[in-house]
Amino acid sequence: MDPRHRVVIITGASAGIGAATARLFAAAGAKLVLAARSREPLERLAATLPGAVAAPTDVSDPAQCRALVELARARHGRVDILINNAGVGLAGPVVELSSDDLERALAVNLFGPLWLMQAVAPLMRAQGRGQIINVSTVLAEQPLPYLGGYAAAKAALERLSETLRMELRGAGVSVTVVRPGSTRTEFRARRLGAGGEQRRLAPPAVPPETVARVILRAARREPLRAYVTVGDRMAIWLARLLPGPVEALLSRAITWEPVAGPALPRPDAPPAQGHGRDNL
Ligand SMILES: NC(=O)c1ccc[n+]([C@@H]2O[C@H](COP(=O)([O-])OP(=O)(O)OC[C@H]3O[C@@H](n4cnc5c(N)ncnc54)[C@H](OP(=O)(O)O)[C@@H]3O)[C@@H](O)[C@H]2O)c1
Protein backbone atom coordinates (compact mmCIF):
# COMPACT_ATOMS: atom_id res chain seq x y z
CA MET A 1 0.00 0.00 0.00
CA ASP A 2 1.10 3.58 -0.49
CA PRO A 3 2.59 4.66 2.87
CA ARG A 4 1.18 8.20 2.58
CA HIS A 5 -0.84 8.93 5.76
CA ARG A 6 -0.34 5.30 6.85
CA VAL A 7 0.72 4.30 10.35
CA VAL A 8 4.02 2.43 10.05
CA ILE A 9 5.99 0.72 12.83
CA ILE A 10 9.70 0.25 12.02
CA THR A 11 11.90 -1.77 14.38
CA GLY A 12 15.67 -1.36 14.43
CA ALA A 13 15.11 2.25 13.39
CA SER A 14 18.01 3.72 15.40
CA ALA A 15 20.65 2.79 12.80
CA GLY A 16 21.49 1.29 9.42
CA ILE A 17 18.71 -0.02 7.21
CA GLY A 18 15.96 0.86 9.71
CA ALA A 19 16.99 4.52 9.99
CA ALA A 20 17.29 4.83 6.18
CA THR A 21 13.85 3.23 5.82
CA ALA A 22 12.39 5.64 8.36
CA ARG A 23 13.71 8.64 6.40
CA LEU A 24 12.28 7.31 3.14
CA PHE A 25 8.86 6.45 4.59
CA ALA A 26 8.67 9.84 6.31
CA ALA A 27 9.40 11.52 2.97
CA ALA A 28 6.62 9.41 1.46
CA GLY A 29 4.19 10.83 4.05
CA ALA A 30 3.94 7.96 6.56
CA LYS A 31 3.16 8.42 10.26
CA LEU A 32 6.05 6.58 11.88
CA VAL A 33 6.47 4.78 15.17
CA LEU A 34 10.20 4.10 15.50
CA ALA A 35 11.49 1.31 17.73
CA ALA A 36 14.94 0.16 18.93
CA ARG A 37 16.58 -0.18 22.33
CA SER A 38 18.73 3.00 22.20
CA ARG A 39 16.52 5.94 23.13
CA GLU A 40 18.88 8.76 22.19
CA PRO A 41 19.49 8.06 18.46
CA LEU A 42 15.85 7.12 18.08
CA GLU A 43 14.63 10.40 19.55
CA ARG A 44 17.17 12.35 17.52
CA LEU A 45 15.90 10.73 14.31
CA ALA A 46 12.22 11.10 15.24
CA ALA A 47 12.78 14.83 15.88
CA THR A 48 13.89 15.29 12.26
CA LEU A 49 10.96 13.40 10.71
CA PRO A 50 7.50 14.98 10.63
CA GLY A 51 4.87 12.86 12.36
CA ALA A 52 7.39 10.39 13.79
CA VAL A 53 7.45 9.19 17.39
CA ALA A 54 10.27 7.33 19.16
CA ALA A 55 9.22 4.25 21.10
CA PRO A 56 12.25 2.64 22.82
CA THR A 57 11.61 -1.11 22.68
CA ASP A 58 13.57 -4.30 23.12
CA VAL A 59 11.89 -6.64 20.64
CA SER A 60 13.15 -9.72 22.51
CA ASP A 61 10.64 -8.88 25.27
CA PRO A 62 7.07 -9.91 24.33
CA ALA A 63 5.51 -7.38 26.74
CA GLN A 64 7.49 -4.53 25.14
CA CYS A 65 6.37 -5.72 21.68
CA ARG A 66 2.72 -5.64 22.74
CA ALA A 67 3.25 -2.19 24.29
CA LEU A 68 4.79 -0.91 21.04
CA VAL A 69 1.78 -1.95 18.99
CA GLU A 70 -0.59 -0.56 21.64
CA LEU A 71 1.27 2.78 21.60
CA ALA A 72 0.85 3.03 17.80
CA ARG A 73 -2.83 2.06 18.02
CA ALA A 74 -3.57 4.44 20.91
CA ARG A 75 -1.85 7.33 19.11
CA HIS A 76 -3.20 6.82 15.60
CA GLY A 77 -6.14 4.43 15.99
CA ARG A 78 -4.63 1.80 13.69
CA VAL A 79 -1.45 0.12 12.43
CA ASP A 80 -1.16 -0.17 8.65
CA ILE A 81 2.38 -1.47 8.13
CA LEU A 82 4.76 -3.34 10.45
CA ILE A 83 8.40 -3.48 9.31
CA ASN A 84 10.28 -6.09 11.33
CA ASN A 85 13.82 -4.90 10.66
CA ALA A 86 15.61 -5.14 14.04
CA GLY A 87 18.25 -7.83 13.84
CA VAL A 88 21.56 -9.06 15.14
CA GLY A 89 24.24 -11.19 13.49
CA LEU A 90 25.92 -14.26 14.89
CA ALA A 91 29.21 -15.71 13.65
CA GLY A 92 31.02 -18.90 14.53
CA PRO A 93 31.41 -22.55 13.55
CA VAL A 94 28.28 -24.62 14.22
CA VAL A 95 30.19 -26.93 16.58
CA GLU A 96 31.19 -23.92 18.71
CA LEU A 97 27.84 -22.07 18.84
CA SER A 98 27.02 -21.21 22.44
CA SER A 99 23.46 -21.55 23.67
CA ASP A 100 23.62 -17.97 25.02
CA ASP A 101 24.53 -16.49 21.63
CA LEU A 102 22.08 -18.62 19.69
CA GLU A 103 19.25 -17.87 22.11
CA ARG A 104 20.01 -14.14 21.80
CA ALA A 105 20.07 -14.33 17.98
CA LEU A 106 16.76 -16.21 17.99
CA ALA A 107 15.24 -13.78 20.51
CA VAL A 108 15.94 -10.75 18.30
CA ASN A 109 15.70 -12.23 14.78
CA LEU A 110 12.86 -14.72 15.26
CA PHE A 111 10.89 -14.27 18.49
CA GLY A 112 10.81 -10.45 18.32
CA PRO A 113 9.21 -10.43 14.85
CA LEU A 114 6.88 -13.22 16.00
CA TRP A 115 5.67 -11.28 19.07
CA LEU A 116 5.05 -8.24 16.88
CA MET A 117 3.23 -10.22 14.19
CA GLN A 118 1.05 -11.79 16.89
CA ALA A 119 0.26 -8.32 18.26
CA VAL A 120 -0.56 -6.64 14.92
CA ALA A 121 -2.25 -9.44 12.98
CA PRO A 122 -5.56 -9.40 14.91
CA LEU A 123 -5.63 -5.60 14.65
CA MET A 124 -4.97 -5.68 10.91
CA ARG A 125 -7.56 -8.40 10.43
CA ALA A 126 -10.13 -6.26 12.24
CA GLN A 127 -9.12 -3.25 10.08
CA GLY A 128 -9.57 -5.43 6.96
CA ARG A 129 -6.18 -4.20 5.73
CA GLY A 130 -2.56 -4.35 6.76
CA GLN A 131 0.93 -5.25 5.72
CA ILE A 132 3.84 -6.99 7.40
CA ILE A 133 7.34 -6.66 5.94
CA ASN A 134 9.98 -8.91 7.49
CA VAL A 135 13.62 -8.12 6.78
CA SER A 136 15.46 -11.41 6.30
CA THR A 137 18.69 -12.10 4.38
CA VAL A 138 19.83 -14.03 1.32
CA LEU A 139 21.52 -16.36 3.84
CA ALA A 140 18.08 -17.68 4.82
CA GLU A 141 18.10 -19.57 1.52
CA GLN A 142 21.83 -20.15 1.01
CA PRO A 143 23.81 -20.04 4.25
CA LEU A 144 27.53 -19.33 4.33
CA PRO A 145 29.97 -21.28 6.49
CA TYR A 146 30.33 -19.80 10.02
CA LEU A 147 27.08 -17.83 9.82
CA GLY A 148 24.79 -20.82 10.45
CA GLY A 149 23.16 -19.59 13.68
CA TYR A 150 22.13 -16.31 12.06
CA ALA A 151 20.98 -18.02 8.84
CA ALA A 152 18.91 -20.53 10.84
CA ALA A 153 17.12 -17.76 12.76
CA LYS A 154 16.25 -15.89 9.55
CA ALA A 155 15.21 -19.09 7.73
CA ALA A 156 12.82 -19.81 10.61
CA LEU A 157 11.48 -16.26 10.34
CA GLU A 158 10.83 -16.80 6.62
CA ARG A 159 8.89 -20.03 7.25
CA LEU A 160 6.75 -18.26 9.90
CA SER A 161 6.15 -15.36 7.49
CA GLU A 162 5.02 -17.66 4.67
CA THR A 163 2.75 -19.62 7.00
CA LEU A 164 1.16 -16.48 8.45
CA ARG A 165 0.56 -15.20 4.92
CA MET A 166 -1.47 -18.34 4.10
CA GLU A 167 -3.34 -18.14 7.40
CA LEU A 168 -4.30 -14.51 6.72
CA ARG A 169 -5.36 -15.10 3.14
CA GLY A 170 -8.60 -13.24 2.42
CA ALA A 171 -8.17 -10.96 5.46
CA GLY A 172 -6.59 -8.10 3.48
CA VAL A 173 -3.22 -8.56 5.21
CA SER A 174 -0.09 -9.19 3.14
CA VAL A 175 3.25 -10.54 4.35
CA THR A 176 6.46 -9.79 2.44
CA VAL A 177 9.97 -11.09 3.07
CA VAL A 178 12.82 -8.78 2.00
CA ARG A 179 16.17 -10.52 1.48
CA PRO A 180 19.08 -8.06 1.53
CA GLY A 181 22.62 -9.14 0.79
CA SER A 182 25.72 -7.42 2.11
CA THR A 183 24.83 -3.87 3.25
CA ARG A 184 27.13 -1.08 4.54
CA THR A 185 26.01 -0.72 8.18
CA GLU A 186 27.44 -1.42 11.63
CA PHE A 187 25.77 -4.85 11.55
CA ARG A 188 28.98 -6.88 11.25
CA ALA A 189 30.72 -4.92 14.02
CA ARG A 190 27.81 -5.54 16.40
CA ARG A 191 27.28 -9.20 15.77
CA LEU A 192 27.30 -11.91 18.42
CA GLY A 193 29.78 -14.75 18.62
CA ALA A 194 33.35 -14.34 19.68
CA GLY A 195 36.49 -16.32 19.18
CA GLY A 196 37.23 -15.75 15.53
CA GLU A 197 36.64 -14.07 12.20
CA GLN A 198 35.04 -15.38 9.05
CA ARG A 199 37.39 -14.78 6.11
CA ARG A 200 35.97 -14.40 2.63
CA LEU A 201 36.06 -12.19 -0.40
CA ALA A 202 33.34 -9.74 0.58
CA PRO A 203 30.82 -9.04 -2.16
CA PRO A 204 30.27 -5.35 -2.92
CA ALA A 205 28.01 -3.99 -0.18
CA VAL A 206 25.14 -1.66 -0.99
CA PRO A 207 24.31 1.43 1.09
CA PRO A 208 21.36 1.08 3.51
CA GLU A 209 19.39 3.58 1.41
CA THR A 210 19.30 1.03 -1.44
CA VAL A 211 17.68 -1.55 0.87
CA ALA A 212 15.29 1.13 2.15
CA ARG A 213 14.14 1.82 -1.43
CA VAL A 214 13.42 -1.89 -1.91
CA ILE A 215 11.40 -1.91 1.33
CA LEU A 216 9.39 1.12 0.14
CA ARG A 217 8.75 -0.57 -3.20
CA ALA A 218 7.72 -3.73 -1.34
CA ALA A 219 5.23 -1.66 0.68
CA ARG A 220 3.71 -0.30 -2.54
CA ARG A 221 3.63 -3.58 -4.51
CA GLU A 222 3.22 -6.17 -1.74
CA PRO A 223 5.26 -8.99 -3.36
CA LEU A 224 5.77 -12.31 -1.57
CA ARG A 225 9.53 -11.77 -1.55
CA ALA A 226 11.93 -9.01 -2.61
CA TYR A 227 15.67 -8.99 -3.36
CA VAL A 228 17.86 -5.90 -3.31
CA THR A 229 20.33 -6.55 -6.15
CA VAL A 230 20.34 -8.58 -9.36
CA GLY A 231 23.54 -10.23 -8.03
CA ASP A 232 21.69 -11.48 -4.90
CA ARG A 233 18.87 -12.86 -7.04
CA MET A 234 21.32 -14.57 -9.41
CA ALA A 235 23.31 -16.09 -6.52
CA ILE A 236 20.15 -17.66 -5.07
CA TRP A 237 19.09 -18.87 -8.51
CA LEU A 238 22.51 -20.52 -8.99
CA ALA A 239 22.41 -22.11 -5.53
CA ARG A 240 19.01 -23.65 -6.31
CA LEU A 241 20.18 -24.88 -9.71
CA LEU A 242 23.57 -26.30 -8.64
CA PRO A 243 23.45 -26.87 -4.87
CA GLY A 244 26.39 -29.31 -4.73
CA PRO A 245 28.93 -27.24 -6.68
CA VAL A 246 27.82 -24.04 -4.91
CA GLU A 247 28.34 -25.62 -1.46
CA ALA A 248 31.75 -26.98 -2.53
CA LEU A 249 32.77 -23.54 -3.77
CA LEU A 250 31.60 -21.79 -0.59
CA SER A 251 33.34 -24.29 1.69
CA ARG A 252 36.62 -23.72 -0.14
CA ALA A 253 36.30 -19.94 -0.40
CA ILE A 254 35.32 -19.18 3.21
CA THR A 255 37.52 -19.91 6.20
CA TRP A 256 37.40 -19.30 9.96
CA GLU A 257 40.34 -17.75 11.75
CA PRO A 258 40.20 -18.25 15.51
CA VAL A 259 41.51 -15.30 17.51
CA ALA A 260 43.74 -15.85 20.50
CA GLY A 261 41.61 -16.09 23.63
CA PRO A 262 41.68 -17.57 27.10
CA ALA A 263 43.26 -21.02 27.29
CA LEU A 264 40.87 -23.90 26.65
CA PRO A 265 40.01 -25.98 29.77
CA ARG A 266 42.09 -29.10 30.20
CA PRO A 267 40.29 -32.21 28.91
CA ASP A 268 40.12 -33.57 32.49
CA ALA A 269 38.71 -30.34 33.95
CA PRO A 270 35.11 -30.50 35.30
CA PRO A 271 32.45 -29.19 32.87
CA ALA A 272 31.48 -25.52 33.29
CA GLN A 273 28.39 -24.98 35.44
CA GLY A 274 25.20 -23.38 34.19
CA HIS A 275 23.86 -22.35 30.86
CA GLY A 276 26.77 -20.03 29.96
CA ARG A 277 28.73 -20.78 26.83
CA ASP A 278 27.90 -24.44 26.43
CA ASN A 279 28.16 -25.79 22.94
CA LEU A 280 24.88 -26.97 21.51
N1 LIG B 1 23.92 -5.28 7.06
C2 LIG B 1 23.81 -6.35 6.31
O3 LIG B 1 24.76 -6.73 5.58
C4 LIG B 1 22.51 -7.12 6.28
C5 LIG B 1 22.37 -8.10 5.28
C6 LIG B 1 21.19 -8.83 5.22
C7 LIG B 1 20.19 -8.59 6.15
N8 LIG B 1 20.35 -7.64 7.12
C9 LIG B 1 19.26 -7.45 8.08
O10 LIG B 1 18.85 -6.10 8.04
C11 LIG B 1 18.31 -5.72 9.32
C12 LIG B 1 18.93 -4.40 9.74
O13 LIG B 1 20.32 -4.58 9.89
P14 LIG B 1 21.39 -3.38 9.77
O15 LIG B 1 22.39 -3.80 8.77
O16 LIG B 1 20.70 -2.08 9.61
O17 LIG B 1 22.06 -3.52 11.21
P18 LIG B 1 22.48 -2.42 12.31
O19 LIG B 1 23.02 -1.21 11.67
O20 LIG B 1 23.29 -3.17 13.29
O21 LIG B 1 21.07 -2.04 12.97
C22 LIG B 1 20.36 -2.98 13.72
C23 LIG B 1 19.16 -2.29 14.35
O24 LIG B 1 18.44 -3.24 15.13
C25 LIG B 1 18.26 -2.71 16.44
N26 LIG B 1 18.18 -3.79 17.42
C27 LIG B 1 19.10 -4.73 17.72
N28 LIG B 1 18.67 -5.51 18.72
C29 LIG B 1 17.44 -5.04 19.06
C30 LIG B 1 16.46 -5.41 20.04
N31 LIG B 1 16.68 -6.43 20.88
N32 LIG B 1 15.31 -4.70 20.11
C33 LIG B 1 15.08 -3.67 19.28
N34 LIG B 1 15.95 -3.29 18.34
C35 LIG B 1 17.12 -3.96 18.23
C36 LIG B 1 19.45 -1.80 16.65
O37 LIG B 1 19.19 -0.78 17.61
P38 LIG B 1 19.55 -0.89 19.18
O39 LIG B 1 20.91 -1.50 19.26
O40 LIG B 1 19.44 0.52 19.64
O41 LIG B 1 18.48 -1.74 19.77
C42 LIG B 1 19.56 -1.16 15.26
O43 LIG B 1 18.64 -0.11 15.15
C44 LIG B 1 18.61 -6.89 10.26
O45 LIG B 1 17.44 -7.64 10.44
C46 LIG B 1 19.65 -7.70 9.53
O47 LIG B 1 19.58 -9.07 9.87
C48 LIG B 1 21.50 -6.90 7.21
Identify the CATH number of the domain in which residue 134 sits: 3.40.50.720
pLDDT at position 261, please? 56
Interatomic CA distance for residues 32 and 53, integer angstroms: 6
- Written as tens digits, the pLDDT of the chain (280 aa) is 999 999 999 999 999 999 999 999 999 999 999 999 999 999 999 999 999 999 999 999 999 999 999 999 999 999 999 999 999 999 999 999 999 999 999 999 999 999 999 999 999 999 999 999 999 999 999 999 999 999 999 999 999 999 999 999 999 999 999 999 999 999 999 999 978 888 887 778 999 999 999 999 999 999 999 999 999 999 999 999 999 999 999 999 999 998 865 544 434 443 333 333 222 2
Distance of CA 106 to the CA centre of its chain: 11
Q: What pLDDT does 275 receive?
A: 32
Active site residue 227: no
Using CA atoms, how far apart are residues 165 and 173, in angstroms rounded to an integer?
Answer: 8
Task: Say if 268 falls within a structural domain.
Answer: no
What is the reported pLDDT for 259?
82
CA–centroid distance, 153 to ligand 1, in Å, is 14
Give me ligand 1 centre to Cα 74, in Å. 26
Res 199: pLDDT: 83
Phi first, then psi: give them for residue 72, nearest 5 degrees.
-65, -45
| Count: domains in the chain | 1
pLDDT at site 273 = 37
Q: Residue 126, by phi and psi: left (phi above 0), alpha (psi -120 to 50) or beta?
A: alpha
Distance 109 CA to ligand 1 centre (A): 9
DSSP 218-260: HHHH--SEEES-HHHHHHHHHHHH-HHHHHHHHHHH-EEEEPP
Measured on CA atoms in the order 148, 242, 162, 70, is the torsion positive or negative?
Answer: positive
| Structural domain that includes position 139 | 7-258
- Output DSSP code: residue 111: I
Is residue 276 situated within a structural domain? no
What local confidence, expressed as pLDDT, does residue 201 receive?
A: 76
Identify whether 252 is part of a domain: yes
Give 3-state DSSP helix, strand, coil % of the chain, rounded to 5.
50, 15, 35
Ligand 1 touching residue 135 (CB < 6 A): yes
Give the separation between CA 13 and CA 92, rounded to whole angstroms. Answer: 26
97 in any annotated domain: yes
Q: Which atom of ligand 1 is nearest to the CA of 20?
A: 16
| 269 found inside a domain | no
Asked whether residue 233 is assigned to any structural domain, the reply reads: yes
Residue 271 placed within a domain: no
- Domain assignment present for residue 41? The answer is yes
Adjacent-strand bridge partners of 90: 192
